[in-house]
Amino acid sequence: MSTPTSPVPLWINNQPILTTSTFPVIQASTGQTVQHACSASATDATNAASSSWTAFQSWRDSTHVERRDLILRVADYFASNLDDFVACQILETSCTKEWAKNNVNGSISYLREIAAQVSSVTGTIPPIEKPRTLGFVFKEPIGPVLCIAPWNAALILATRGIASAIAVGCTVVFKASEICPKTHAGIVKAFVDSGCPAGVLNQLQTKREDAAEVTEALIAHQAMRKVEFIGSAAVGRVIGQVAAKYLKPVVMELGGKCPAIVLDDADVAEAARQCALGAVMHHGQICFSTERIIVLEGIARRFQELLVEQMQGLEEVAGSAVSDSIARHAEDVVKECGDKTIVGGVDGTAKSPSLKPTIVLNPEPSERIFDEETFGPSASLYVVKDDAAAIELANRSSYGLNATVWTKDMSRFMKIARQLEYGQVHANTISIYTSPTGSQGGVKGSGFGRQNGKWGLNEFVVDKFVSCTPYLLSFPNTLPPGGRKPCLLGGGGAGNSFSVTISSSPFERKDRMWYESPAADEESSFLAARACAAAEGRGYEFACEGLAKTRGNMRFMSGLQPGRQPQATPTPDSTDMIMKVDAPCPGGC
């Protein structure tokens, strides 16, 4: 990490990299420059991607125990350095202390759940239509991943993707936010100090005007195999276009316009409290924020009174916006609604960039607030006549990330939940909710792919199908000690040979082996022993137990099953494996 006088470095191959180009990091609540950060170039992007590719060659073969234990050590590091992480977030993003602390604790929960899920990423053995053939579907790490994380939940949203990719054997290039580079550098330091091998996690950040060039250089690099992007829908479209240009798969979590539906049997007071909190927490700068509240007309008057009361007491909880531009956008969207504001509104006297907790009543579909993410502490309130109307209005959005329903009737809730076009639907809770063990992701304009739990880990693996059938192995032969000439068939010449047959496929129990030759001499015995040793050297799980002379032939047997005779000449479709050992007679016999 940086010092008060040195800029936040890049991290490549576990080494801090200082660049001549830097940019200032400004705390919006004070307007002060709190530090500077190194700004990556396209060349730095190439170096980071190459480092990740080199590290992937060995990290992909690490055991799940190694990866699990690394993630657990990182979680412990977060717990031991909680105060430092909290201070960094407040310094860079102007968030409240409570929000910063929740981010650290949430990251710890995610890390420990990811570690717990590592061994759940397993392949399958599907039935195969081809006789005597086995099939395997292996889960393999996709390769180096580019993770692009935002500033608004700086620790959770970055740590989750990075840890999920590393946990399954991928390496990561992490493009940190220019708004909170020191906070994000703390994540990399946590991994490095916890024993993460060089190149497994690299970090770049860049000034805003160079972001497009550096990001495309990373996506275009042949080493990078997938992109995870968390951010606005507008930037997501750009990332998606660049990824499509280079045929790179993308997992995206974008914006939201989360509805809270309050039914007529709900706990009205609790619903009002949680809806207000969901609208203003972290100044509304959360993709899960409650942006639309839909209430049934039978309880609308009472609910509205309680909601206004709750909103008026949440200015301190709301805090400040991360930047002037974010605050101005939220203000502009609210201003367009005119006299429909029933509480809050634009505060022209505020010393820091902020918007008062605001409720707009029944805006029209033509107004921006109807389906544009405000990213401010505001929500729209709609009154509808029944459940069907509530569902229709909730689904009338280009987004589909999170929704919540307030009711005491769980049958009614489940019916509504199945009809809502959202990736997550919750009952009787704040909309700003997800679980480390559950699937998280959006539909429609809120993105695609899933995070959290086993779903998040599976985003960074690919399926490989492998099929296996019996086959012919040839082992070269050598002369026995003392230079004896092995003549097995007694006919002379250089074409003499013998065969060893193993009765069972190489994937079943290796329970029988025999050697058979028309001759029963020392050379035959020697070659039979060599064939068995060669087979054992190739990994077959049997031991050579003895020789037996039958019908004038030499049979070499191991674990011969009663009641089944050896096959001297197995057919091509036999389940037996044939090992042919050529035994030339130099100079003739």
Within-domain flag for 527? yes
pLDDT at 282: 95
Task: Indicate the angle between helix axes 64-80 and 154-167, nearest 10 degrees.
Answer: 160
pLDDT at 491: 30
Q: With bands split at pLDDT 50, 70 and 90, how would you rate the model's confidence at 28?
A: confident
Within-domain flag for 281? yes
Cα 169 to Cα 464: distance, rounded to the nearest angstrom: 15
The yes-or-no verdict on residue 538 having pLDDT over 60 is no
Q: Convert the pLDDT of each residue in 57-73 to its tens digit.
A: 999 999 999 999 999 99
Q: Which of 508, 460, 497 shows the shortest CA–CA distance to 475?
A: 497
Within-domain flag for 448? no
Within-domain flag for 401? yes
Within-domain flag for 500? yes
Q: With bands split at pLDDT 50, 70 and 90, how would you rate the model's confidence at 236?
A: very high
Q: Which of 404, 49, 403, 363 shows the shortest CA–CA distance to 201?
A: 49
Assign residue 269 the CATH number of its domain.
3.40.309.10
Q: Convert the pLDDT of each residue in 31-44 to its tens digit.
A: 899 999 999 999 99
Percent of the chain topping pLDDT 70: 78
Q: Are residues 416 and 559 in the same domain?
A: no
Within-domain flag for 508? yes
Percent of the chain topping pLDDT 90: 73
Q: Are residues 174 and 272 in the same domain?
A: no
Q: Which of 62, 41, 59, 46 shows the shortest CA–CA distance to 199?
A: 59
Residues 6+ apart with CB under 8 A from 239: 148, 215, 219, 227, 229, 231, 250, 252
Chain-centre distance for alpha carbon 200: 15
Q: With bands split at pLDDT 50, 70 and 90, how would you rate the model's confidence at 131?
A: confident
Q: Are residues 279 and 395 in the same domain?
A: yes
Q: Are residues 31 and 107 in the same domain?
A: yes
pLDDT at 107: 98
Q: Which of 500, 482, 504, 470 shows the shortest CA–CA distance to 582?
A: 500
Q: With bands split at pLDDT 50, 70 and 90, how would you rate the model's confidence at 483?
A: very low
Give the number of other CB atoms < 10 A from CB of residue 551: 7
pLDDT at 61: 97
Cα 286 to Cα 152: distance, rounded to the nearest angstrom: 7
pLDDT at 476: 39
* Residue spans of beta strands (DSSP E) within 29-144: 32-38, 134-141
pLDDT at 470: 62
Least confident stretch, 318-332, 470-484, 556-570: 556-570
pLDDT at 338: 87
For 178, the token pair is 């220019």
For 434, the token pair is 């997800």
Q: Are residues 217 and 263 in the same domain?
A: no
Least confident stretch, 81-85, 123-127, 210-214, 580-584: 580-584
As separate numbers, helices (DSSP H) first and strands (DSSP E) second, the chain gives 16, 25
pLDDT at 512: 36
The CA distances from residue 317 to 259, 283, 347, 398, in Å, are: 21, 8, 16, 29
Question: 128-138 b/e with 16+ CB inside 10 Å = b?
Answer: eeeeeebeeee
Q: Are residues 196 and 345 in the same domain?
A: no
Q: Which of 361, 343, 351 shows the shortest CA–CA distance to 321?
A: 351
Assign residue 184 the CATH number of its domain.
3.40.605.10
Q: Supply the DSSP symbol for 479.
A: P
Q: Which of 495, 481, 489 shows the shortest CA–CA distance to 584?
A: 495
Burial class of residue 109 in the structure, from the number of CB atoms within 10 Å of its CB (0-12 exposed, 13-18 middle, 19+ buried)? middle
Q: Convert the pLDDT of each residue in 258-277 to its tens digit.
A: 999 999 999 999 999 999 99
Task: Write down the mean pLDDT value for the chain.
Answer: 84
Question: Which domain covers residue 353, as residue numbers?
Answer: 258-433
Q: Which of 513, 515, 517 shows the shortest CA–CA distance to 503?
A: 513
Cα 420 to Cα 418: distance, rounded to the nearest angstrom: 6
In one letter, which amino acid is 116? A
Please give the average per-residue pLDDT across 538-554, as a whole number: 35
Q: Which is higher by pLDDT, 370 or 494?
A: 370
Q: Are residues 491 and 573 in the same domain?
A: yes
> Final residue of a domain: which of 421, 446, 465?
465
Q: Are residues 227 and 308 in the same domain?
A: no
pLDDT at 467: 92
Within-domain flag for 5? no
In one letter, which amino acid is 402? N
In total, how many domains does the chain have?
3
Q: Are residues 290 and 317 in the same domain?
A: yes
Q: Convert the pLDDT of each residue in 573-584 to its tens digit.
A: 333 333 333 333
pLDDT at 313: 87
> Final residue of a domain: which of 412, 446, 465?
465
Measured CA angle at 465 (ends 459, 470), to 5 deg = 160
Q: Assign 501 to helix, strand or coil.
A: strand
Q: Are residues 92 and 174 in the same domain?
A: yes
The yes-or-no verdict on residue 540 having pLDDT over 60 is no
Within-domain flag for 69? yes
In one letter, which amino acid is 123? G
Cα 562 to Cα 409: distance, rounded to the nearest angstrom: 68
Catalytic residues: 253, 287
Q: Which is higher by pLDDT, 101 or 474?
A: 101
Q: Are residues 246 and 275 in the same domain?
A: no
Cα 247 to Cα 492: distance, rounded to the nearest angstrom: 62
Q: Are residues 330 and 363 in the same domain?
A: yes
Q: Supply the DSSP symbol for 160.
A: H
Cα 225 to Cα 561: distance, rounded to the nearest angstrom: 51
